[in-house]
């Protein structure tokens, strides 16, 4: 059964809380330890079950092409070549027979490495060393024992019940063989692999797709037999033998890869969890990002309608990083949406600084209007901030709010070094924005008289002449950069 994230519909769930009956995706659990399969529920703080890739894996019937390409990677091709060509050149004696047996066992061992790695989420073939390393050959012995016991079952059925019972036993063995191989790969137990109850449980948990896969396997087996028969019939023996061996090995790897993928696809139903291991873009899923925990909590609380909690999270974050632009922006959006004027007023110096840094004159204009509902004569108490906000407002053609911030600048900030830039900007607002040339000239005359040390002082005459001629105030960009 596939589950989507409760908070991000369409995103596959990765974690499930049995206490809250909630499903979470990676975005909700950025601090989860996927390697150790450990995470606490954001709601109840209880341990959760890891779902792995169960909810996002592509169904096997959509990967048929990938299955057929699987044996043609470098590692499986090397294994197939060794196991196919070496027996041909081996001497035709006991040593040659021994080499043939060892290589057959190595190939069989490699097929089980394929099924195991695929079930764990490795969609790339195992390395060559998996076939020829000293360990792991016991799985080959176990599989041979399974074949012997299945043969004994068919023989016993024939002896006890005649041909009818024998045919039923053969039908059971043939139908249950893929399930038996998968159980043996998971359990490493002959008893489990031949237990009819285990096989029935696995088939029932997978359901109809098991029979669909079974149909593919039958077609695959028939295709392999037909290809080998064609090779033997139409080519000389020295060509047909290695070609038939190559085809047989290739189809065997495809078959075992498909069985492993079926385990991977239905991991949740079968009671284990595995993730895709070879895709580079999924490596981030394994990386624990505790810094994003706040974003996940904020997102979930907003979607749950817990706005007070979301606001508290942001305020707590701003206690640790007072001027964090990301958190200031999130708080501004939340407070604006909630029309929380008192909190907007409380945080207005930092929010206005954030808006000014972004040159968001529209946002500043809206914020000032909101603050004026609480304090009609609202003014900014910092000279640098007042000038920065006035510039942003001017560029967005909010001329009157910009002038209001610059009003009585020399009285409010008598010792500020921003006096000349502030009144030069006021002159621009009046002349270029409001076409009030006389008032613009008055501000320019004030700067000419009181701010003789400012670099723009030597150009005041040019601007005064422009104002008298009712022309837009423009000057050399090197010195007149107040609001250009």
Q: Which one-letter DSSP state was computed for residue 33?
A: B
Residue indicated by tokens 């195992």: 126
The Cα–Cα gap between 258 and 254 comes to 6
Q: What's the rounded Cα separation, in Å, for the pair 125 and 117? A: 8
Tell me the chain's radius of gyration from C-alpha atoms.
38
Q: What is the pLDDT along the chain (484 residues), one digit of tens a residue?
A: 578 899 998 888 889 999 999 999 988 998 888 777 788 999 999 999 888 776 777 888 888 899 999 999 999 999 999 988 887 777 778 888 888 888 888 888 899 899 988 988 888 999 998 888 877 678 888 888 988 998 898 888 888 878 888 888 888 888 888 899 888 888 888 889 888 898 888 989 888 888 888 888 888 888 888 888 888 888 887 788 788 888 888 998 998 999 989 888 888 777 766 766 655 434 444 444 555 888 999 999 999 999 999 999 999 999 999 999 999 999 999 999 999 999 999 999 999 999 999 999 999 999 999 999 999 999 999 999 999 999 999 999 999 999 999 999 999 999 888 999 999 999 999 999 999 999 999 999 998 888 877 777 677 888 888 888 888 887 544 344 454 4
How far apart, in whole angstroms, are the C-alpha atoms of residue 355 and residue 426?
20
CA 422 to chain centre: 48
DSSP code at position 42: T
Half-sphere exposure of 156 (CA within 13 A, CB side): 7
Q: Name residue 33's beta-bridge partners.
A: 38
**Rounded distance between C-alpha atoms, residue 20 and residue 16, angstroms:** 9
* pLDDT tens-digit readout, 35-93: 777 889 999 999 998 887 767 778 888 888 999 999 999 999 999 999 888 877 777 78
Question: Nearest 10 degrees: CA dihedral of 205, 208, 212, 215?
Answer: 90
Buried b or exposed e, range 428-453, using 16+ CB within 10 angstroms: bbbbbbeebbebbbebbebbbeebee
pLDDT of residue 277: 66
Distance in angstroms (rounded) separating the CA atoms of residues 319 and 317: 5
Helix or strand or coil: residue 117?
helix
């Amino acid at each position: 059964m596939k589950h989507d994230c409760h908070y991000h519909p369409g995103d596959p769930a990765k974690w499930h809380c049995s206490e809250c009956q909630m499903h979470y995706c990676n975005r909700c659990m950025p601090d989860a330890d996927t390697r150790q399969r450990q995470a606490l529920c954001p709601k109840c703080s209880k341990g959760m079950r890891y779902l792995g890739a169960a909810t996002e894996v592509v169904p096997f019937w959509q990967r048929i092409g990938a299955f057929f390409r699987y044996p043609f990677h470098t590692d499986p091709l090397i294994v197939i070549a060794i196991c196919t060509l070496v027996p041909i050149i081996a001497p035709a004696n006991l040593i040659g027979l021994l080499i043939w047996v060892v290589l057959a066992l190595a190939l069989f061992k490699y097929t089980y490495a394929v099924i195991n790695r695929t079930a764990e989420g490795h969609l790339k073939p195992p390395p060559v060393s998996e076939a020829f390393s000293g360990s792991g050959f016991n799985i080959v012995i176990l599989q041979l024992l399974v074949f012997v016991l299945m043969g004994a079952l068919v023989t016993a059925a024939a002896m006890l019940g005649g041909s009818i019972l024998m045919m039923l036993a053969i039908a059971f063995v043939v139908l249950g063989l893929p399930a038996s191989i998968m159980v043996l790969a998971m359990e490493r137990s002959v008893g489990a692999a031949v237990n009819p109850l285990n096989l029935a449980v696995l088939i029932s948990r997978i359901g109809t797709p098991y029979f669909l896969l079974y149909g593919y396997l039958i077609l695959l087996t028939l295709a392999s037999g037909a290809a080998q028969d064609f090779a033997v019939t139409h080519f000389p023996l020295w060509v047909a033998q290695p070609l038939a061996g190559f085809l047989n090995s290739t189809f065997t790897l495809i078959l075992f890869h498909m069985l492993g993928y079926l385990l991977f696809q239905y991991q949740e139903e079968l009671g284990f969890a595995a993730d895709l291991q070879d895709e580079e873009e999924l490596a981030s899923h394994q990386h624990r990002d505790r810094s994003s925990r706040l974003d996940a909590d904020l997102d979930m609380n907003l979607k749950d309608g817990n706005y007070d909690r979301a606001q508290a999270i942001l305020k707590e974050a701003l206690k640790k990083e007072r001027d964090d632009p990301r958190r200031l922006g999130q708080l501004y959006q939340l407070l604006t949406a909630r029309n929380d004027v008192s909190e907007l007023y409380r945080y207005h110096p930092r929010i206005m600084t954030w808006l000014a840094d972004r040159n968001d004159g529209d946002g500043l204009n809206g914020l000032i209007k909101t603050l004026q509902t609480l304090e009609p004569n609202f003014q900014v108490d910092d000279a640098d901030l007042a000038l920065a906000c006035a510039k942003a407002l001017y560029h967005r053609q909010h001329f009157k709010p910009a002038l209001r911030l610059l009003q009585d600048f020399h009285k409010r900030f008598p010792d500020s070094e921003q006096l000349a830039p502030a009144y030069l900007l006021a002159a621009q607002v009046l002349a270029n924005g409001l076409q009030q040339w006389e008032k613009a000239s008055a501000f320019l005359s004030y700067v000419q008289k009181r701010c003789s040390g400012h670099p723009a002082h030597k150009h005041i005459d040019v601007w005064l002449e422009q104002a008298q001629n009712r022309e837009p105030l423009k000057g050399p960009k090197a010195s007149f950069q107040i609001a250009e």
